[in-house]
Amino acid sequence: MSEYERRTDGRTDLVRHVYRLVGARRLRRVDAAVRAVYIEWQRWRFATLLASDLASYRAYRRADGRGRHAGDATLRVRVKPLGGRAVELRPGTTDAQMLRETFRDNVHRPTAPRVRTIVDIGANIGITVAYNALRYPEARIVAVELDAGNVALARRNTAEWADRVELRHGAAWVEDGEVTYVNDRGLEFGFYVDEGGSGRAPALSMGTILGLVPAGGRVDFLKMDVEGVEAQLLKPSVPHWADRVDEIALQVHHDYTVEDCVRDLTALGFTAAADTRRIDFVRGQRSAG
């Protein structure tokens, strides 16, 4: 897979570029130390940027540590980009990291000023759904999430918009049925379909998912993060489910490269390119005409 440097148009872009040029990644101890410092700085920085008040800052910091088991308890964090609305995070999971990366990279946002229909595949605990519901008050959102525990939390985090958010438990797949998936603790933001997994979920074809959108209606924006399944879902065919989609944003995984994805989206009629704000992310748009 080709290497891409995440670009934020901030000062950290230069730091990452110089770090890469000097070859520090090849020095394992130096690399490990630098990464540990950078991750802790990110945790502190985004706790201050995201939390609306001191109690939320403390709750976020408590939640932001994988492996610290806390049973079924959740912590409420009021989030600035959500207008101070509270979301629930589970300590000892990837929830806090997912919240941080969502608003660090901002790749979940449509580019159109007016959006009526959004499909969010791989909705996790509902943060991107909540943000887009808040930003686009006229939009109807269909959201799909693989894991039942994530779905339960997503329902609570999007309850304010339940009248126009339809959240389904299931895995995007090539056909309807059932799949098994890996659901190891500490991977909540990256559970993935695998024959050897211990989790089970309904499998939903793209036809079934888009069937939740009014018949004949366009999908203004589709966000997809499905941990490798995208390679199968984007195989060009005629007709194709993506014919109804005007803008798509997704992360690629495993052996399916950015170049592969750009090629497939181009074949499906999109103008596609890497979105360097997040590693291995691609965005495609159709012409207005």
pLDDT tens, position by position, 118-128 = 999 999 999 99
In a domain, 19, yes or no: yes
Distance CA 216, CA 209 (A): 14
In a domain, 1, yes or no: no
In a domain, 5, yes or no: no
Which range (64-68, 160-164, 169-173, 196-200) has the least confidence?
64-68
* Cα–Cα separations (whole angstroms), residue 125 to 66, 83, 102, 231: 16, 18, 12, 24
In a domain, 251, yes or no: yes
Structural domains in the chain (count)? 1
pLDDT tens, position by position, 62-91 = 998 755 555 568 999 999 999 999 999 999
Q: Look up residue 49 and give its amino acid.
A: L
In a domain, 31, yes or no: yes
In a domain, 257, yes or no: yes
Q: CATH code at 28?
A: 3.40.50.150
The average pLDDT across 219-243 equals 94
Structural domain span for residue 94: 11-285
In a domain, 129, yes or no: yes
Instruction: Spell 51-62 as b/e; 16+ CB within 10 A means b.
Output: bbeeebbebbbb
Question: Average pLDDT over the chain, rounded to whole?
Answer: 89
Which secondary-structure segment (H or E) carries 143?
A: strand 140-145
In a domain, 97, yes or no: yes
Neighbouring CB atoms inside 10 A of 221's CB total 25
* Cα–Cα separations (whole angstroms), residue 51 to 85, 99, 225: 10, 11, 25
Contact 176, 170 (CB under 8 A): no
